[in-house]
Amino acid sequence: MCCDDRVIVSYYRWLQNGLKPEKIDVSLITHLILGFCVVQDDGSIGEGETHGERSYGAVVALKRKNPKLKVLLSVGGGGNHSGFVTMVKNDDLLNKFVESALKLIEQHSLDGLDLDWEFPSGPREKARFATLLDRLREAFDKHPMRPLLTVAVPAQSPLVNGGYDVPKIAKAVDLVLIMSYDLHMYKWYLPFTGHNAPLLPGKKEFSYFKTLNIRHSAKLWAKRGVPKNKLVIGVPTYGLTWKLLFKWWTGPWAPAIGIGPNGGYTSYPKVLNMLSTNTGRAFWDKVSHSPYVITSDKTWISYDDEDSIRAKVKFVREAQYAGIMCFSLNCDDWSGECGRENFPLHKTIHSELLLTDRL
């Protein structure tokens, strides 16, 4: 794939972490996805956390800075599952959803729609989700604006197999965005640390756990039938945190007693501040190409830095996937508060992904 054809898709959540639209460096991305709208009881699309018209206008206005930028609206996101379940069961509600999507796109000069249903499951929802995408594709193709249609999908094979008719999805959408993060999270039945978005499996991982990495997820979706020029590989700018059980057992798969501060999440600038103030110490897992931080209060943090992002982008470039999806603009060091340039992770993605392919 020519470097000019590659995409850099990034999600933006309205004013989260203080990031205003005018502060976004839109030269670094090809697609901006504003999240997240919700499916309402009547099947129409509600504003959700986007704050509606105010945010739509401000984000679309960024196209003045980068006329090639594509701006999409995302429906769904974590915690917005039930609206999809009800809507896809009923043809009238499904048609209302399609009608509502086109109306929003027309009214606000958007370039398309992203669906982030987390997650369809079972034969019925699997079939009806494919039907929804087919109906959207048909309606979008008939519309003079020819809106884009993208879908955010899981990386884990049980979720893929249980909820996605991959060949039909591949035919209906323009891009498939793999959410190849949250691959290891604290759970009461799995109380161990692990990398949020490892490129490769860890040294101690076996069986199912050996599949929880970016390389496996990308190959899984390609093998199921998505062309590589539609597959976009997700990377996070946020980190996940655990509370360690022991001070002396601190690597990946160390026992943990719960999530860390701030609900188990952190941002890249917060990690950088820990390192600059010596309240945390960074380590590098050379097997999975992933950094992590251990703090003095026994907090374990999985995150991504420029080096891990560089390794992932190199993989995407050399394997000829369509590009990178980043979640999100808000959790990068967008202000440069940590003494570096602003949006350092996005700048790494941009500079590495658009390199001419090496022999």
pLDDT tens for residues 184-193?
A: 999 999 999 9
The tokens describing 230, both together, are: 């539609």
pLDDT at 358: 45
If DSSP states are collapsed to H, E and C, what string results for the chain? Answer: CCHHHCEEEEEEECCHHHCCHHHCCHHHCCEEEEEEEEECCCCCEECHHHCCHHHHHHHHHHHHCCCCCEEEEEEECCCCCHHHHHHHHCHHHHHHHHHHHHHHHHHHCCCEEEEECCCCCHHHHHHHHHHHHHHHHHHHHHCCCCCEEEEEEECCHHHHHHHCCHHHHHHHCCEEEEECCCCCCCECCECECCCCCCCCCCCCCCHHHHHCCHHHHHHHHHHHCCCHHHEEEEEECEEEEEEECCCCCCCCCCEEEEECCHHHEEEHHHHHHHHHCCCEEEEEECCCCEEEEEECCCEEEECCCHHHHHHHHHHHHHHCCCEEEEECHHHCCCCCCCCCCCCHHHHHHHHHHCCCCCC
Q: Give the whole-angstrom CA distance, residue 154 versus residue 212.
A: 11
Q: Give the whole-angstrom CA distance, residue 70 versus residue 111.
A: 6
Say what the pTM is: 0.97
Instruction: Specify whether 22 is catalytic.
Output: no
Q: Give the whole-angstrom CA distance, residue 162 versus residue 224.
A: 13
For the chain, what are the domain ranges? Answer: 3-237+304-353
pLDDT at 4: 63
Low-confidence ranges of the chain (pLDDT < 70): 1-4, 356-359
Single out the residue of 11, 23, 6, 28 nearest to residue 350, CA to CA: 28
Q: What is the pLDDT of residues 215-250, one digit of tens each?
A: 999 999 999 999 999 999 999 999 999 999 999 999
Residue from 118, 125, 205, 352 carrying the catalytic annotation: 118
pLDDT at 126: 98
Is 3.20.20.80 the CATH number for 3-237+304-353? yes
- Residue carrying the six token digits 């000829």: 320
pLDDT at 340: 80
Strand partners, 236: 327
pLDDT at 116: 99
